[in-house]
Structure 1
Amino acid sequence: MNDELVPHRGRVVLCTLRYSDNLGDGVIGDCMEFLIKKQRPGFDVEHLDMAGRAGFSAPKESRLGYLRKILFYACPVPMRGTAFRLLWPLLFEKRMAHACGHAFRENVDALVFGGGQMLNDVALNFPLKFQYVAKYASQRRTSMAMAGVGVSSNWSKRGLDCFRGALSSPLFKYVSVRDERSRNTLTSYLESRTSEVAVTLDPAIWSSEAYKVVPREKSVDVLRVGFGIANPEELATQAQGENFSAASFDSFWLDVIDGVKSLNCKIVLFSNGAVEDDTYLRQFAAKLKSVRPDVLFEVLPRAERPHELVSQIAGMDVIVAHRLHANIIAYSCSVPSIALVWDAKVAGFCDMVGRSRWCYHSLTDGARVAADVEQAYKTGVDLDQQQKLKSICLSKIEDMLGAVGK
């Protein structure tokens, strides 16, 4: 398609969580850049991390970030928003100013907020950051757009004010979300934009192309089954009201592993790269070795860059995972996945791609999940549907670029 396009000149600032150690966010950023450049060869894409990070953290820095999260978990839920608001000018505002100043150091044609569960309000974290970046762009009269984001229904009054104020700007030219549920949620908050919110797919469904994934040669003898391990406490912080615990997750994964032992498979444990996930993964692996000494399994090293995570997932025959982007990357790479629903966004993606059959909602379903692993592999991914959905995603990127005049 690029061969038919005339090279364009332009500069876009792409605001994502690109340098998060939860590498699904980095995959989103890379795929958004890939799609913009696919439609506009010659465009310069400047990344702006919504948390103000300038690069991926070294392991030591990531562990310090995890310690800060532990302190955040210890704060009573009703007080978290107030605590974040008080800490904002001390810990975040200066860093955000520096990051925005760097991203906007040259002429910018458009600011694009790209992908992820960006319209989400956990203790005002995203509302304050989103508002700050949008205001920075508005002061420079820069056109803005939002592409393929997820929307949560947990907005506080202050969060609503932040998001609504930013999105109501006349400089905001285009809004698309990544599933129908997100559209319904957003339009319930922003009635004035009801007719303007488009539905697309998460940009990470282009992971395979963005990272030039070479399809794995499938084994007919031994299935390589990947279990994507996530930290239950981290998921509980984001999931509304869910009471996850290490004990309940341990029990679930042991049930799954007990169930697949009868298959001729290789068990592989991996995480999406977040330090909190990897910490729990190592703890569970130690427990697994202790309580199931007869089970042979492999623990993958923690991926430190998005391309490493994509490579790990693409190397599986089938995966079982909580994290949304483990499932999206797998889908892009034609690796069947069984999605473990801990938040509506996971079910929303499966609905969009026709894989609701392969969703499980309860931590008591371990044995049923295990029983479905072989069938999921045999059924595979509907490649015709996959290509249709990728084309829809690409067409919405074109619509977005047209809306901002590029």
Structure 2
Amino acid sequence: MNNVGINKIAVFSECYSHNLGDGVIFDSISFLLSNFGIEAVPIDLSGRESCSASMVQEIDASLFTFVRNVMRVPIRRYGTLRKLCSTSKWYLYDMQKTHDRWSHIIKSVDAVIIGGGQLLTDIDFGFPPKIFKVAKLAQYYKKPLCILGCGVGSTGWSLVARNIYDYVLRRAEYISVRDEDSLNMIRNRLPSSVKVNLHPDVAFMINQFQNYSLNLSDNKVVGFNFQPLLNFKKFLPSFNSLSNDTYLNLWVRLIQGACVAGYRPVIVTNGHPLDYETARSVVDRLNASGFQVVLADRPLSSEALIRQLADLPNLLCTRMHAGIISYCLGNKVIPISWDPKVVGVWSNVGLEDLVVSAEDLFIREWNYFENIFDNFVHSPKILECAQKKILSAMSDCVQILKKS
């Protein structure tokens, strides 16, 4: 398709995050825009300038990194301290570091999209000031702004974050979200005259531009994808009193059960170093108990993650986008819900029945999950319907931008 007046759009997201699911979100937006002859310019909201740079563990001599490393445990434990650290780092260091680059890019493009992922959150006041900065620069350079396929944090917004997001949302030419809860939260913040659109997570487009041959020869291969206990504790009170040893042993028990049942487990991570560290701890415990499993190399790009997932005909996962990728590639998936967004995103495509609560990790033996895999039925029509909705939303967004 030819598109008059809109040739290049700056897409602000977590595109270079250690969590490669965020990279898949940007890749999907880029693919969607390419259907309209538009180039997507990636900009990472956290200031990372490339995926390779973010994946390499370099020594950062800044005062903020030193403090963060020394205070890592208390920062993670106390929300107020996390917010103080995040706010100080942004206003005293990162804002100046990113200003010139963001200004140059926004000035040179035709529009700005804040796109995909759980960006409208206020867990540690990480995103509000950055998104505010993007909106102010878009306004300054007179570039239309869109919010595309974002999620809204279930933990609520502080007063400052509410004011920031109200400012941004009221100036957006187009707003869409990826789940019903996010839709309701935003609608409650805006006048009824402001339209808020709902469509599936853009990552459900992945099989339209990433195709890999599936491992159909060995249906006894099962993937396990999980993350640190800390992530669970942010959203699940039942996990607050859980020790890390107990958490790791939950996965050890399940994987042992899969081995005994004749499965060949493969542990695959989403790229984040802490995910990989957790996986290594589980593998060490399995080895010590006489069970040998495969730990896939830590993927360093979204393409590497997709290749690893394509080889897993069965996947039990806590990282939401690992599940989305695997499902779109045609594999069997059991998504574990540890954050309300997981149920919300899968429900929005009509696949809420696939989701299993994280609490079931306590009480279920492997045969429970094996039975789900045995009875798993793919629905190409559901995926096709989801993709049509995503394409329609992007078409609406582009048409609105053309009129702006």
Q: Any gaps of 5 or more consecutive residues in structure 2?
A: none
The match for 1:104 is: 106
Q: Any gaps of 5 or more consecutive residues in structure 1?
A: none
Distance of 2:392 and 2:22 partners within structure 1: 22
SS at match of 2:124: coil
- Greater shift, 60-69 or 246-255, is seen at 60-69
Q: Deviations over 1:35-92 (max 9, x none)?
A: 1112x12x22211111121112242239998994783442232232233222322231
The match for 2:83 is: 81
Distance of 1:314 and 1:332 partners within structure 2: 10
Amino acid of the structure 2 residue aligned with 1:155: W
The answer as to 2:186 corresponding to 1:186 is yes
The match for 1:132 is: 133
SS at match of 2:348: helix
Distance of 1:67 and 1:200 partners within structure 2: 41
Which of 337, 340, 353 is equivalent to 2:349?
353
**Does the CA contact (< 8 Å) of 1:52 and 1:99 recur in 2?**
no
By how many angstroms is 1:182 displaced? 1.2
By how many angstroms is 1:118 displaced? 0.5
TM-score, normalization: structure 1?
A: 0.89
The match for 1:384 is: 381
By how many angstroms is 1:356 displaced? 2.5
SS at match of 1:111: strand
Distance of 1:330 and 1:70 partners within structure 2: 38
Distance of 2:138 and 2:362 partners within structure 1: 47
Which of 43, 61, 65 is equivalent to 1:48?
43
By how many angstroms is 1:225 displaced? 0.5
**Does the CA contact (< 8 Å) of 1:112 and 1:147 recur in 2?**
yes
By how many angstroms is 1:339 displaced? 1.2
Which of 158, 162, 169 is equivalent to 2:160?
158
SS at match of 1:121: coil
Amino acid of the structure 1 residue aligned with 2:208: E
The match for 1:144 is: 145
The aligned length equals 392
Which of 278, 281, 296 is equivalent to 1:280?
278
SS at match of 1:226: strand
Distance 1:346 1:309, change over 3 A: same
Q: Deviations over 1:252-309 (max 9, x none)?
A: 212322332343321000110011111111122111211x31x231000000011111
Distance 1:382 1:222, change over 3 A: closer
Distance of 1:248 and 1:255 partners within structure 2: 10
By how many angstroms is 1:29 displaced? 0.5
Distance 1:60 1:67, change over 3 A: farther
The match for 2:249 is: 251
By how many angstroms is 1:168 displaced? 1.5
The match for 2:97 is: 95
**Does the CA contact (< 8 Å) of 2:8 and 2:111 recur in 1?**
yes
Distance of 2:74 and 2:295 partners within structure 1: 29
**Does the CA contact (< 8 Å) of 1:146 and 1:176 recur in 2?**
yes
**Does the CA contact (< 8 Å) of 1:30 and 1:210 recur in 2?**
no
By how many angstroms is 1:120 displaced? 0.8
Identity within the alignment, %: 24
The match for 1:373 is: 370
- Greater shift, 63-72 or 262-271, is seen at 63-72
Distance of 2:96 and 2:266 partners within structure 1: 42
Amino acid of the structure 2 residue aligned with 1:99: R
- Greater shift, 129-138 or 262-271, is seen at 262-271
By how many angstroms is 1:24 displaced? 0.4
Amino acid of the structure 2 residue aligned with 1:145: C
By how many angstroms is 1:95 displaced? 2.3
**Does the CA contact (< 8 Å) of 2:115 and 2:148 recur in 1?**
yes
By how many angstroms is 1:210 displaced? 2.4
TM-score, normalization: structure 2?
A: 0.89
Q: Deviations over 1:338-385 (max 9, x none)?
A: 111110001112212333223222054463464223532542321111
Distance of 2:381 and 2:69 partners within structure 1: 42
Q: Deviations over 1:179-201 (max 9, x none)?
A: 1111112222x132575111101
The match for 1:22 is: 19
Distance 1:67 1:263, change over 3 A: farther
